Every structure is written in C-alpha cells, then in structure tokens.
C-alpha cells in the first residue's frame, strides 16, 4: 500500500490549491459500485458517489444510481439507468433527476490491452418537472485505455481516460483527463486510484481547471 501512495503522490501536480469549486480547487471523489450478473447478457448495476472540494474538506455533490447493463456482444454493451443527483449550491442541496443511456464499444487483446469508447446521453431534469425550460440534454463521450503492462504480484495496471461533455445551450463545457492505477483483488473486487485534471465552464462560461484525486471501488458478482 505504501508503494501505491508514493505512486499517486508522483501523479499529483505541485499546485493543487483553490477555493471550493474555484480555479485550482483540489477535490476528492469517492465512487462505490456494485455489479450483479443476473444472466449471461444482463447485469444489474448500482453506484454512489461523493465529491469533496476546498482541499477535500467540504462535500458539495453526491449521487445515487441504478441501472441495467445489456451485453450485445463482447464488443458492444448498452445500459439504461437513472441517477439521482444532489448539488450543494449556496449552502442548500438542489436535486436533479438524470435518466440516461450508455452505448459502449470495446475491444481487448491477448496481450492485456483494453480500449473502450462510451457514449452517454443524459436528460437533466432540473426544475422538478419532466417538461421544463430548465431541463437540458447532455452528451458525454469517454475514451478509456488500459495498456498491456502489469505491475507487481497484484497485477496492477496503469490506465488513461479522456472524456468531454457537450451540453445543450452551452456546447462543450467540460473536459476530463485522467490517469491512474487499476488494482484487482480476487476477481470480484476492483480499486481504481487516479488523478484527474478537470477543465469546465463556470456559471459565467469561463474555463477553469480543478484537480481531483479519485478513489473508485467496485464489487462484481
């Protein structure tokens, strides 16, 4: 574990400090997921996520999610899901309702390489009503690359990911560049530890950057 911490320290930039949700804010994100295989071509999925900003001290975001993942083939899968989002704005928790669908294309090699391209379409219900002018469509595209390199007896693997967000009325308003380590344990457990450089437009549509330490834990049954 001490080796993992040293590696993560090297991944982090030297300057990480900024106020909550401002330019340079250092954040800690924690994601916990459960995947239950109910048939050869279908998996039940669940996820929670908590985000802490202002140097990782104050929680400002959380979501709860459930869905069904369908495997069309080894190279194509489809997910339909619902996410309940809570954002802390002006010290008040604002609700958001996010039904979404995923279409993912993926490929792997005998040498351990794995590449996936996830396409997500989200309908953001923000005003509490299904048909409201505040509601927006959001498209997300995430490219994930796992090279064929394995490290140590635990078979840790470095990974890289890039994701962009296109939102109705705002265009491209977020970019995420992520790299880290994927650490398996006894086939049913996976821990991803990573650093993410996040560029996004604020309310005034000005680009700012934030630094994220992401802890992603998942169980597979």
Q: Would you give the DSSP letter of residue 156?
A: B
Fold of 2-220: Porin (2.40.160)
34 contact partners, CB below 8 Å, separation of at least 6:
45, 46, 47, 218, 219, 221
- Local structure of residue 3 (DSSP, 8 states): H
Per-residue pLDDT for 202 more than 90? Answer: no
15: pLDDT confidence band, cut at 50, 70 and 90? very low
Q: How confident is the model at residue 5 (pLDDT cuts 50, 70, 90)?
A: very low
What does the pLDDT look like over 30-75, one tens digit per residue? 999 999 999 999 999 999 999 999 888 899 999 999 999 999 999 9
pTM to 2 decimals?
A: 0.88
- Spell out the residues 6+ positions from residue 183 whose beta carbon is closer than 8 angstroms to its own: 4, 154, 156, 190, 191, 192, 193
- The residues spanned by each domain of the chain are 2-220
Name every residue whose Cβ is closer than 8 Å to that of residue 215 and which is 6 or more positions away in sequence: 28, 29, 30, 31, 191, 192, 193
CA distance linking residue 195 with residue 176, whole number of Å: 10
**What is the distance in angstroms between the CA of the first residue and the CA of the last residue of the chain?**
25
Residues in Cβ contact with 68 at an 8 Å cutoff, skipping those fewer than 6 apart: 42, 43, 44, 45, 79, 80, 81
Contact 211, 26 (CB under 8 A): yes
pLDDT bucket at 177, cuts 50 / 70 / 90: very high
Average pLDDT, the chain: 90
């Amino acid at each position: 574990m001490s080796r993992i911490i040293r590696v993560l320290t090297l991944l982090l930039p030297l300057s990480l400090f900024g106020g909550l949700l401002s330019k340079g804010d250092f954040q800690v994100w924690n994601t916990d997921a459960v995947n239950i295989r109910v048939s050869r071509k279908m998996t039940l999925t669940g996820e929670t996520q908590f985000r802490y900003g202002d140097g990782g001290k104050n929680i400002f975001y959380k979501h709860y999610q459930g869905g069904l993942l369908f495997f069309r083939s080894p190279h194509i899968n489809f997910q339909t899901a619902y996410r309940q989002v809570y954002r802390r704005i002006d010290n008040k928790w604002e609700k958001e309702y996010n039904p979404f669908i995923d279409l993912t294309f993926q490929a792997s090699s005998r040498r351990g390489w794995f590449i996936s391209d996830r396409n997500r379409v989200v309908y953001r219900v923000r005003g509490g009503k299904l048909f409201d002018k505040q509601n927006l469509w959001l498209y997300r595209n995430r490219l994930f690359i796992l090279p064929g390199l394995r490290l140590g007896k635990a078979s840790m693997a470095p990974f890289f990911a890039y994701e962009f967000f296109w939102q109705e009325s705002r265009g491209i308003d977020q970019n995420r560049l992520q790299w880290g380590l994927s650490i398996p344990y006894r086939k049913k457990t996976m821990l991803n530890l990573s650093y993410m450089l996040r560029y996004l437009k604020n309310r005034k549509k000005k680009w700012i950057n934030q630094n994220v330490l992401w802890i992603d834990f998942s169980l597979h049954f």
